[in-house]
Structure 1
Amino acid sequence: MVRKSCYIGFSYFAGLFLCTIGWGRNNAVFALASACVAITAFALFKRYRKHIALCFVSFLIAVGVNTAYTHIFYDKLTALDGKTVTVRGEITDISYIGSDTCRLSVNGTVGGVKGRLTFYADDIEYDYYDNIVATVKVSRIKDSINFKSEQYDRPKGIFLQGSTAESIEVTGGGNTILRSIMHYRDKMFMLINDIIGGDEGGFAAAMLCGDKTELSKQTKLTVYRSGIGHIFSVSGTHVVIISAMIGWLMQKLSKDKRVIFAVQTVAVWAFAVFAGFSVSVVRAAVMLTLVTAAPLLYRRPDPANTLCLCAVVILTLSPYAAADCSFLLSFTATFVIGTVCPKAVTMVKRRDILGNIECEIVTAVTILLCTMPVQLMFFSEISLVAPLSNILLVPVCTLALGLTVITAVTGGATIIAYPVLTVVKYLLKAVLFLASLFSKFSFAYLPRGVRPLGIVMLVTCLVPVAVMFLRKSVKLGAFCTALMLVCWTAVYNFSLAFGGSVKIVVMPKGNAVQAVLYDKTKGMVFDIGSKGKLNSGIESFLELYGIKELKGAFIESEQYYTITKYNEQMTIRPDRFYINGEPDNDSELPFMTGAQLDWNGVKIEALEDGYKITTEGCVVTIEKGSVTINGRNLDTTDEEYPLMIDMKNSQIRRTDYGFAYGFGSW
């Protein structure tokens, strides 16, 4: 049997993925169903009985691993919800957030159970990998309207969050080597931002360190919409550059392959620590270690086998990672690059420069389409210009990354850092300019929330790749891809033209409410006592449903503070602010109690504690803690989900953003 690791890896992943998204409630059902499928297949396909048995056993082991992990760790940790516990462990990350307060991430035990916890503490002299003992009140991480925290953190093995520590004691220093690496990372991060500055500096620092804190929200949105957001994820490209540099240097110093392998491996894993042990960099480090070790063990490295073995290792250590956005995108893209793309490229007949360009296009489009199902699970918007951006911009980003790595490897010496990082600055300036240009194309990206676009994209995204392989024709695959993109665009435009009606999404937070009234791609925002607290949720909704303009924002109270929050936090800023008071500038208009405004056939009226929105046949009143539709009142004080109101048929339903909680990393 060849490629046993693939059969094991895929079956093991499938078992963990199903158990994780099922929250462990249906593990017995999955085990029983897999047994029925295995028995049936075993009887029907005699030639493949070994394969079927191997897959069944791997799947069953995965179910067992998930069940054990859930009972030993997840259940015990979440049972601590609302309790004050003792936290012991090492500080793995420190973030200073102002007001003499810092946020500490600790890996150790929480209430006697192995786990990770982030909590707040007074800003004193803490250091990476200090051993601490703290008393903290913990709470279970839950999804909110602003952010799907549980969906995001649970696959990473983080189930609890802490408040400000009641007491904390540093009991000693930890691993000095890891601490030195983290200090060096902080030094490089500051050096890059000091020399380059601006969004270019934040871009370079994000590529090297995986830390996007110095990038503006608008720049991040532009980069992701242009389809090159994966360059921020520290992964294979970074590890290969590091390994190649160290390997080249070691070949000059030693001919012993074992010594070269040992130094390369240490350097690669030191960089994994430097990058914060993200899923993508761990995957890349494990794969490169296995690939470079293969010749020493007289084995021929196989990309698919290596990737599947790597997946088994990572998922055994962190079973819930099977549903992690970073894991799924990283492994899917790597599998496509290592196994699907090489076969696709062999169908290209030309062997000249145009043939090389055709190979690049085939590779970029194949990666986009094969990773589309995962993107549709997690992202609000799907970039259609990604192949173009990856062909033109990723090589420039890779060059900039290589130069940045040179700066890091040489210790950030001024004589090297300044000229090298100056070149990086202008390279990234060009990248950001082109990314901004690409993202402004009318067809650059599509919002998956527009019905039925998301379903159409999911059903059809793999058709061109399947046709290309079945008919062994790149031209036919290209034709199908073009036809599919035209179909997607047509579905989107038809949905806007004929399927739309005026809707309101209401986002409650206790008595406070924020709401969006929208028609097709334009909308109005209402803020009733919220003071912009749900701006992140509003932005997620705007991206998911393709709302590109906010014609106005109605601010019920504390106008100055609330308007400042909207202007600072929103990438789509309202054109006008209608306030319950006297305006301070031209962007503000008075809208007192009793005032009325007509927008796209919708009448908006200011009430004493809210707003009344009227269309033909539907009257919606939004006030603090309640929503009324044609006289039917709903208390929103305890609502945890957004409420969608269709004003055409006066219906209201709870809605959710599903997996679309933001940007993942590859």
Structure 2
Amino acid sequence: MKLKYRPMAIMGFSSLYVLFICAHFDDRFSFVSVGAGIIILLLTAFIRKFRESVTPFFLAAALIFSGISFEMTTEYKISYADSLTDKEVTLDATVLEEPEFTGTKYYYTLKTNKIDGNDFKVKLRLSASQYIDAEPYDRVRFKVTLYEIGSFSRDIKLYYNSKGIFLGGYVSNYDDDYPIEITKPEKKPLGYYLYGIRKTVTNRILDGLPNDYGGVGIGMLIGDKSYISDETVGYIKGAGVAPVFAVSGMHLSVWVMGLYAVLEEMKVRKKINSSIGIGFTLFFLAVTGFTPSVCRAGIMLIMILIGNLFHRKADPINSLGFAALLLGIINPLITADIGFLLSFSSTLGIIAINPLLEKHVVSRVKDNIWGKIAKSVLRLFFVSACATFASLGFVIVFIGYISVYSIISNMLIGYAAALCMLTCGLTVLFYPLGGLGAVFSLESGLIARYIIAVIKFISGLPFATVRTDNEYWVYGVIVFYTLIVGAVLIFNNRRAFKISSVGLAAVILICCLLYHFDYDGYSFLRVLETDGCVAAVISDGEHNAVICSDGDYKYLSDSVSNALMGSDGKTDLLIADINGGYSSVYGLIGESKINKLIVPKKNDSLLSVYDEKDITENSNAKIKLWKSTTVEFLSNDEYSVAVCDIDGVKITIILRGGDIPQKFLTGDILICDDIPENIKFKKIIVSGESDSENSISTEVYGDMDIKIKKNNYKIIIREGN
């Protein structure tokens, strides 16, 4: 793959390289990039050999422009947005999407028009305790407290920044003092009609397939996975087929190339056919929300279709480089979007490696009936393998686990996924005709059923996933790619492939061994955002326990169930401070699979939802949950506390306040709904609203995790994720 005569590839790849380093390592590299570009230009002025080649000019332009664009974005939007945090402001904004409900919060994406009367347009992620009765593209005006989004996690900050979201905000309840004004737009923007199309697509599919099958169809058609159950999402991750359910190049190519083939059969002129293809591509990008992975594919397809208009063949590497350059110009933080990185690297792997495999392997297969079948299987395997191989580094570092059978999974559902997407599209198109739409809906459901059955089976196989969320895997990625580059540069023949393959196997084996013997064994405590009670889930990956206070929070069961994903909803132990009367804990007990229950006192309401023989009545208990994790539970008329010792980290959970002895008011982390006096803790997490500057509030940030091992801990702010 030579880049000498591929100027767009040189600029695009160089630009992405600069933007990636700036985003993930040090934003000061933007100045280094600009300086390097200027030096190259100066060298070009004095060195004749440089002047005779256009490559240095393209390289210099990419370095200078990328550095400047990244610096302008961080300086203007991020720095100015951060300066507005920790303030209560009057916000005038436009609702961009329907809300997402997670735990106890509704999360909205807004685009600000004015902040305290000053013009400033930026995307904001708002968490609200109450539902805001506003549709997308309605204008809202209300008071909101702003905060720095991702302030506790660089990864989360980059994630939101890559989507153009630079501010976080939260509101509690709306009343006369904090009213909200909702205004319908007089003139509907284009986005409103695109939103209407997405709603129509969703409603028509769900009308015929109101379950996971419909959710699969919607995910493949417009990329919205919110209608797929958490259980099926787990299958998708375990089987390693998430890209199939995120609209990208495969989906767009099927539609555009299918439309192109139909028009060609109808004898439509090539130029008109290509023009229709370009128009449809732009329409598809708009309907699916201009996500980076779809935009990358769309730009490449448009380049191919433009080439058809002028009787020129578009170069795939150049087209990919141009797409990268254009998307980097539009959003300098695009390299923080893992979806884009996976899409870009997978595509690069396919167009760079697959032709070699086609030439040296597929072409040697005999051209008889069995040979044709073998060629089809090999091509399907090589495409999946090239995409997996090229994106493996990003998967290891950013996703945190490897799906071992992902190549097999993609081979088994690849064609089925394309067919499911087409039948779902035809379902939507022919929905007004009734019977014909119902036929396509039935076909979509059968195909979706097959897809779910396959990924459920594969995700349940032994060693379906391997965790990679530690530094050894990062080092392994560096060694792995160094081996590949070194082998190619030194040997440049079949020996390079052999050395790379051996290197890959060695790296994976070493990382797995190091992870097992030295890095495994973390414990987690998740603090749940609840309304009126305190709740936490402790887990070591194999076992779990729930500790909660009394209260009437109606979503407690759902919150605990979400926290227990991966354990089939089973709970080894529930410690609950129940005082009698109505309690949301009874709902949790009735809906969950709890092996053992500890309460201060039994009552008739409790006995009506749980077997008495599995209830331990104890108001002063010390329980060993598992190795290196103990809980001391004490409940009386004055107070109720649970003191957890998790691998040397002392965490006190105040379930009910009062005259608490001082010995319980010291440790590493305090979890409570009301901060007592005379405490000595390194960190304080408040379940609910808090005015203390020294605490972290679930009212603002939602659920949060504490990652613990060997006397060390790290608080991970989830911010609704």
Same fold, TM exceeding 0.5?
A: yes
> C-alpha offsets along residues 599-645 of structure 1, whole Å, 9 cap, x if unaligned?
54555432344445569x95845334966379995343446585554
SS of 1:255's equivalent in the other structure is coil
Name the CA distance, whole Å, in 2 between partners of 1:327 and 1:95: 24
Match in the other structure for 2:247: 234
> C-alpha offsets along residues 271-307 of structure 1, whole Å, 9 cap, x if unaligned?
2222122222222222211210112234320111111
Please list every run of 5 or more consecutive structure 2 residues that lacks an aligned counterpart in the other structure: 366-370, 655-663, 670-678, 686-693, 697-703
Name the CA distance, whole Å, in 1 between partners of 2:111 and 2:429: 28
CA 1:567–1:206: 2 relative to 1, 3 Å: farther
Name the CA distance, whole Å, in 2 between partners of 1:471 and 1:143: 45
Q: Which of 265, 270, 288 is the aligned partner of 1:257? A: 270
Question: 1:196: how far off?
Answer: 1.8
Contact 1:555 1:562 in 2 (8 A): no
Name the CA distance, whole Å, in 2 between partners of 1:435 and 1:629: 42
For residues 11-90 of structure 1, what are the structure 2 equivalents within 5 Å?
A: 11-21=14-24, 24=27, 27-32=30-35, 50-81=54-85, 82-87=87-92
Question: 1:390: how far off?
Answer: 0.7
Match in the other structure for 2:160: 153
Q: Which of 420, 425, 433 is the aligned partner of 2:445? A: 425
Match in the other structure for 1:168: 182
Question: 1:188: how far off?
Answer: 2.0
Name the CA distance, whole Å, in 2 between partners of 1:248 and 1:11: 36
Match in the other structure for 1:347: 360
SS of 1:336's equivalent in the other structure is helix
Question: 1:337: how far off?
Answer: 1.8
Name the CA distance, whole Å, in 1 between partners of 2:292 and 2:206: 25
> C-alpha offsets along residues 354-379 of structure 1, whole Å, 9 cap, x if unaligned?
34433433332232122122122321
Q: Which moved more, 1:600-609 or 1:151-160?
A: 600-609
For residues 386-465 of structure 1, what are the structure 2 equivalents within 5 Å?
A: 386-410=406-430, 413-449=433-469, 452-453=472-473, 455-456=475-476, 459-460=479-480
Q: Which of 645, 651, 654 is the aligned partner of 2:714? A: 654
- Is 1:597 paired with 2:627? no
Q: Which of 606, 611, 627 is the aligned partner of 2:633? A: 606
Contact 1:580 1:592 in 2 (8 A): yes
Question: 1:5: how far off?
Answer: 0.6
CA 1:31–1:83: 2 relative to 1, 3 Å: farther
Name the CA distance, whole Å, in 2 between partners of 1:605 and 1:50: 72
Contact 1:370 1:462 in 2 (8 A): no
Contact 2:644 2:651 in 1 (8 A): yes
Match in the other structure for 1:289: 302
CA 1:346–1:85: 2 relative to 1, 3 Å: farther
2:184 partner amino acid: V
CA 1:549–1:286: 2 relative to 1, 3 Å: same
CA 1:552–1:208: 2 relative to 1, 3 Å: same
CA RMSD between the two structures: 4.6
Q: Which of 319, 322, 346 is the aligned partner of 2:332? A: 319
Q: Which moved more, 1:620-629 or 1:186-195?
A: 620-629
Contact 2:576 2:585 in 1 (8 A): no
Q: Which of 376, 393, 403 is the aligned partner of 1:373? A: 393
Q: Which of 63, 78, 94 is the aligned partner of 2:98? A: 94
Name the CA distance, whole Å, in 1 between partners of 2:501 and 2:559: 34
Contact 1:203 1:212 in 2 (8 A): yes
Question: 1:181: how far off?
Answer: 3.9
Name the CA distance, whole Å, in 2 between partners of 1:534 and 1:38: 63
How many pairs are equivalent? 643
- Is 1:246 paired with 2:271? no
Contact 1:73 1:113 in 2 (8 A): no
Contact 2:341 2:394 in 1 (8 A): yes
Contact 2:205 2:441 in 1 (8 A): yes
2:632 partner amino acid: E
CA 1:201–1:78: 2 relative to 1, 3 Å: same
CA 1:623–1:470: 2 relative to 1, 3 Å: same
Contact 1:135 1:166 in 2 (8 A): yes
For normalisation by structure 1, the TM-score amounts to 0.81
- Is 1:622 paired with 2:652? yes
Percent of residue pairs identical: 15
1:186 partner amino acid: K
Contact 1:321 1:327 in 2 (8 A): yes
Question: 1:525: how far off?
Answer: 3.3
- Is 1:331 paired with 2:344? yes
SS of 1:139's equivalent in the other structure is strand
CA 1:492–1:167: 2 relative to 1, 3 Å: same
Contact 1:239 1:281 in 2 (8 A): yes
Please list every run of 5 or more consecutive structure 1 residues that lacks an aligned counterpart in the other structure: none
Contact 2:239 2:464 in 1 (8 A): yes
Q: Which of 367, 377, 395 is the aligned partner of 1:357? A: 377
Name the CA distance, whole Å, in 2 between partners of 1:79 and 1:180: 35
1:134 partner amino acid: R
Contact 1:526 1:554 in 2 (8 A): yes
Q: Which of 537, 542, 548 is the aligned partner of 1:522? A: 542
Q: Which moved more, 1:133-142 or 1:323-332?
A: 133-142
For residues 263-302 of structure 1, what are the structure 2 equivalents within 5 Å?
A: 263-302=276-315
Match in the other structure for 2:682: 634
Name the CA distance, whole Å, in 2 between partners of 1:305 and 1:567: 60
For residues 512-551 of structure 1, what are the structure 2 equivalents within 5 Å?
A: 514=536, 516=538, 518=540, 521-527=541-547
Contact 2:223 2:245 in 1 (8 A): yes
Question: 1:534: how far off?
Answer: 13
Contact 1:8 1:308 in 2 (8 A): yes
Match in the other structure for 2:676: none
CA 1:149–1:323: 2 relative to 1, 3 Å: closer
SS of 1:393's equivalent in the other structure is helix
Contact 1:364 1:390 in 2 (8 A): yes
Q: Which is greater in Rg?
A: 2
The one of the two structures with greater contact order (alpha-carbon pairs below 8 A, sep at least 6) is 1
Contact 2:619 2:633 in 1 (8 A): yes
Name the CA distance, whole Å, in 2 between partners of 1:117 and 1:627: 37
1:636 partner amino acid: I
Name the CA distance, whole Å, in 2 between partners of 1:50 and 1:459: 33
SS of 2:182's equivalent in the other structure is strand
Q: Which moved more, 1:584-593 or 1:437-446?
A: 584-593
Question: 1:596: how far off?
Answer: 3.3
Contact 2:215 2:226 in 1 (8 A): yes
Question: 1:514: how far off?
Answer: 3.4
Contact 1:407 1:413 in 2 (8 A): no
- Is 1:203 paired with 2:216? yes
Name the CA distance, whole Å, in 2 between partners of 1:534 and 1:52: 61
